[in-house]
Amino acid sequence: MSNPAIDVVLVTGMSGAGRSTATRALEDIGWFVVDNLPPTLMINVVDYVAQRTGSQKVAVVADVRGGQLFDELQESLKAIKSAGHDLRVLFLEAGDESLVRRYESSRRPHPLQRDDSLLGAVQRERKLLSDLRAEADIVIDTSNLNVHELRRSIEGSFGDDEHAKLRATVMSFGFKYGIPLDADLVADLRFCITRTGIQT
Tell me if the pTM is above 0.85: no
The per-residue pLDDT for 88 is 95
**What percent of the chain clears pLDDT 90, i.e. is strictly above it?**
36
- Give Cβ neighbours of residue 52 (< 8 Å, ≥ 6 apart): none
Residues 31 and 10: their CA atoms lie apart, in Å, by: 12
pLDDT at 27 over 70: yes
Residues 110 and 135: their CA atoms lie apart, in Å, by: 24
Most distant CA pair in the chain, distance: 78
Residue 3: φ, ψ to 5°: -80, 145
**pLDDT category, 1, cuts 50, 70, 90?**
very low
Residue ranges per structural domain of the chain: 7-164
Of 3.40.228.10, 3.40.630.10, 3.40.50.300, 2.40.50.140, the CATH number of 7-164 is 3.40.50.300
